[in-house]
Amino acid sequence: MNIFKQYFTIIFIILAAGLYGQEVLTGVQFNETIREQNSTGTEAERLRDVRDQIQLPFFDDFKNDYARPNPEHWKDIDVFINKDFPYFAPNAGAATFDALDSTGNVYSNAVWIPFEADKLTSNPIRLDSVFEPVTKALSPADSLYLSFYYQPQGYGDAPESWDTLLLELSYLTGDTVFSHIDSVLVSANLYLEDENDTIRPFDTIYAPPGCNEDLYIINFQTLTWDDWLMMPCDSVFVAEIGWKTAWKSEGMTLDEFREQNGKDFVQMMIPVKDSIFFHDKFMFRFRNYASIANNNIPSWRSNADQWNVDYVYLNYNRSVADSTYRVLTFSDRAPSFLKTYQVMPYRQYRADAPYNVMKENLEMYISNLDKVEHNTKYMYRVQQVNGSFGYQYNGGSCNLMPFYVSGFQSCSTSCGSAHACPPVNSPFNFDYSRDTTSYIIKHYISDSSESNIIVDSVSYRQGFYNYYAYDDGTPELGYGLEPAGALLAYQFKLSVPDTLFGVQMYFNRVKDDANSQFFNINIWQDNNGKPGDIVAQIPSQQAMWEDGLYKFYAYLLEEPVILSGTFYVGWQQFEGGSLNIGFDANNDNRSKIFYKVDETWYTSNFGGSLLIRPMFAPEMILSNGDISSEEKVSIFPNPARTHFTIGNESIKQDHKATLLIYNMYGAV
């Protein structure tokens, strides 16, 4: 083993030296969704201690919007329930295993050799009996199967071959182990001589009669007649649980996995045959092993080795062929109606819509997980938020074959095209009374049954704010350039001239703040499809963060700059090492990402989008020169958290004066 460690270290150093001077893609250091939910303390967290034994069947498709596993099904909270990391899951949502713990941080014991990372353990399941439709004892003769879909990497980082995923089943060893000290509520009167007696702090109090007389507590409060106190009573021993590995998979890239299996996800059918598993406290669990980069490249020490698990189903009277479900589902998230952007300024949309901005058709990934064909109906609705605009598209009916036969709904037929490639029927309205607006787009799929209808839906919020965004706001990975002096430029195109006043960026947090180096934020003009002259700069900046879930930090220009046509936003770093900007792996805009490490601008090798967003003023500024005026306005304190004062008497005394306050996103 020591020889292996030395050999691996040498290989890693050689590879790192070869990659130095190029762009790098790494995992993220923190999961902001998990950190946010840890800080809010939701009802689901409070329900975790209320766990009844589960009766068959056990099923979870991880479609809940909460980032934690459902506490009605699972004991652990290590894995991340999400729609971002899975690549075409059976339905939109899966459990992602990685190198981040339940707080959203890289495990404290994370090292470059495999370590035990996430666990997903079921609550105790009654595998001794079933009670519906009639009560009966269970045995291996009842043909129990545990099935699940799994996938390595997804949109994240590929697990190495030694970073395995395992399934384990629990059994009772026959021994008992200490669990805890049981307690009883006791009246203080039991220890007091009369109503005037007192138990004082630091008195020693022994367990009451009927309990273990060797147990005692040191009291830390003053107790008088009729008070109550909790006393230890006896040791509690429980049946010892053992675990047996039922299945495991070595790590690999998604490309290798697809080449090996011909599928994005593979369903496993695990028979539960051994009689040792048929007890009333049966559990099963998934575990993964992960490894992270070593200390030679600290900016790479972040999340890695993702596995995605979906559609976990345990029941009796199954067979190895019982691998289908009466389900119609969307297998990916709802898309943007815009050709290139997830978000764009409303003014720019109005100037260029619909032909240069709107998609003609959408791509919807609809699947039938059943074993029989279904006649399906598809539609979508568009509704402006706090507005009157809205419309509905009806795609009619179409037959959909089982997924294992023909895959997703096809665009090759007229009715299939109406579902899988529906047209964008109308541009969004031009509301000139607003600087910003947004629309909720909800897609529905159902079958034609008159009863027990199968329905699924996905939704998307189309935003028109004061910035451009290629990204969807969630960084699956981190992007950076290694050498000192490296330049990064991100291409955008304006429909009409506009006023840039700042840039939003989201940097991943890195262990020990290894990406807290200085850089200049540059704004370039276009030069034949590549960055040209620098027209504005925000000098000597560092990676900064806002509190909250994936909140971008706004870097503001001292003087707004008027731009037109194609421009570029990015940085020049002073030191070597990745800045680890957020990287959205779901939306491929690599042709807009340029980097320079010598004398030449190159386009990125990595498919995705950077979490960089140029911000534009609510109103067009025709000049950034000084405006002569005798009216001076002072605002104090600045910055302010709860209130501020306007130091201008004429405004304060003018009862008709109107004050409009814009946030950094251009919203009033």
The verdict on pTM exceeding 0.85 is no
Please give the Cα distance from 480 to 486 (Å, whole number).
Answer: 10
**Confidence band for 19, pLDDT divided at 50, 70 and 90:** very low
H helix and E strand count, the chain: 8, 35
Please report the pLDDT score of residue 644 as a whole number. Answer: 66
Please report the pLDDT score of residue 658 as a whole number. Answer: 67
Q: What is the mean pLDDT of residues 504-508?
A: 92
Contacts of 173 (CB under 8 A, 6+ apart): 239, 240, 241, 242
**Confidence band for 548, pLDDT divided at 50, 70 and 90:** low
Within a 10 A sphere around the Cβ of 542, how many other Cβ atoms?
Answer: 13
Please give the Cα distance from 120 to 308 (Å, whole number).
Answer: 12
Please report the pLDDT score of residue 47 as a whole number. Answer: 46
- Tell me which residue has tokens 């009246």: 187
The answer to whether residues 77 and 252 touch, using CB atoms and an 8 Å cutoff, is no
Please give the Cα distance from 271 to 141 (Å, whole number).
Answer: 11
Q: What is the mean pLDDT of residues 536-547?
A: 89
Give me the amino acid identity at 152.
Answer: P
Give me the amino acid identity at 220.
Answer: F
Please report the pLDDT score of residue 637 as a whole number. Answer: 56
The answer to whether residues 596 and 486 touch, using CB atoms and an 8 Å cutoff, is yes
Q: Dihedral (C-alpha) 204, 208, 213, 218: value to the nearest 10 degrees?
A: -20
Please report the pLDDT score of residue 44 as a whole number. Answer: 45
What's the 3-state SS for 282-306? Answer: ECEEEEEEECCCCCCCHHHCCCCCC
Q: What is the mean pLDDT of residues 375-402?
A: 95
* Nearest alpha-carbon partner for 27 in 208, 212, 156: 156
pLDDT of 427 > 60? The answer is: yes
Q: What would the pLDDT profile of 356-382 be if each residue is shown by its tens digit?
A: 899 999 999 999 999 999 999 999 999
Q: The dihedral of CA 566, 569, 570, 572: what is its sign?
A: positive
- Strands, E assignment, 276-326: 284-290, 307-315
Q: How do beta strands 519-527 and 566-573 pair?
A: antiparallel
Q: What is the mean pLDDT of residues 129-137?
A: 88
Please give the Cα distance from 500 to 258 (Å, whole number).
Answer: 44
Q: How many residues are present in the chain?
A: 668
Please give the Cα distance from 513 to 209 (Å, whole number).
Answer: 57
**Cis? peptide before 159, omega within 30° of 0:** no
**Confidence band for 627, pLDDT divided at 50, 70 and 90:** very low
**Confidence band for 48, pLDDT divided at 50, 70 and 90:** very low
Please report the pLDDT score of residue 652 as a whole number. Answer: 64
Q: What is the mean pLDDT of residues 57-83?
A: 90
DSSP 218-229: E--S-B-TT-EE
Q: What would the pLDDT profile of 594-608 be if each residue is shown by its tens digit?
A: 999 998 999 999 999
Q: What would the pLDDT profile of 273-310 be if each residue is shown by its tens digit?
A: 999 999 999 999 999 998 876 554 554 555 678 999 99
Q: Which residue has the higher pLDDT, 161 or 626?
A: 161
**Confidence band for 558, pLDDT divided at 50, 70 and 90:** very high
pLDDT of 57 > 60? The answer is: yes
The backbone torsions φ and ψ at residue 347, rounded to the nearest 5 degrees and listed phi first, read -60, -40
Contacts of 35 (CB under 8 A, 6+ apart): 103, 104, 105, 549
Q: What is the mean pLDDT of residues 570-587?
A: 92
Please report the pLDDT score of residue 114 as a whole number. Answer: 83
Q: Specify the range with the lowest mean pLDDT, choosing from 28-37, 229-238, 480-489.
A: 28-37
pLDDT of 106 > 70? The answer is: yes
Please give the Cα distance from 166 to 615 (Å, whole number).
Answer: 46
Please report the pLDDT score of residue 649 as a whole number. Answer: 63
Q: What is the mean pLDDT of residues 53-78?
A: 89
Helical (H) or strand (E) element with 554: strand 553-563
**Confidence band for 265, pLDDT divided at 50, 70 and 90:** very high
**Cis? peptide before 639, omega within 30° of 0:** yes
**Confidence band for 632, pLDDT divided at 50, 70 and 90:** low
Please report the pLDDT score of residue 87 as a whole number. Answer: 94
Please give the Cα distance from 240 to 191 (Å, whole number).
Answer: 37
In sequence order, which ranges of 353-512 are alpha helices (DSSP H)? 403-406, 414-420
- Rg, C-alpha atoms of the chain: 30
Please give the Cα distance from 23 to 595 (Å, whole number).
Answer: 8
Please report the pLDDT score of residue 12 as a whole number. Answer: 35
* Nearest alpha-carbon partner for 184 in 236, 231, 229, 237: 231
Q: Cα–Cα–Cα angle for 330, 331, 333, nearest 5°? A: 80
Give the side-chain half-sphere CA count within 13 A for 367: 20
The answer to whether residues 299 and 177 touch, using CB atoms and an 8 Å cutoff, is no
* Nearest alpha-carbon partner for 69 in 86, 82, 55, 57: 82
Please give the Cα distance from 204 to 220 (Å, whole number).
Answer: 10
Contacts of 399 (CB under 8 A, 6+ apart): 373, 374, 375, 376, 415
* Nearest alpha-carbon partner for 99 in 29, 12, 149, 25: 29
Q: What is the mean pLDDT of residues 563-567?
A: 96
Please report the pLDDT score of residue 46 as a whole number. Answer: 40
pLDDT of 14 > 50? The answer is: no
The answer to whether residues 171 and 178 touch, using CB atoms and an 8 Å cutoff, is no
pLDDT of 39 > 70? The answer is: no
The answer to whether residues 330 and 380 touch, using CB atoms and an 8 Å cutoff, is no
Residue 357 Cα to chain centre, angstroms: 28
Please report the pLDDT score of residue 660 as a whole number. Answer: 63
DSSP 47-84: GGG--PPB-S-EEE----SSSSPPTTTBS---SEEESS
- Tell me which residue has tokens 């299939």: 416
Q: Specify the range with the lowest mean pLDDT, choosing from 86-100, 419-433, 631-645.
A: 631-645
Question: Tell me, what DSSP letter sits at residue 11?
Answer: H
Q: What is the mean pLDDT of residues 636-661?
A: 63
The answer to whether residues 402 and 378 touch, using CB atoms and an 8 Å cutoff, is no
pLDDT of 5 > 50? The answer is: no
Share of the chain above pLDDT 90, in %: 59
Q: What is the mean pLDDT of residues 408-428?
A: 92
* Average pLDDT across the chain, whole number: 85
Residue 364 Cα to chain centre, angstroms: 21
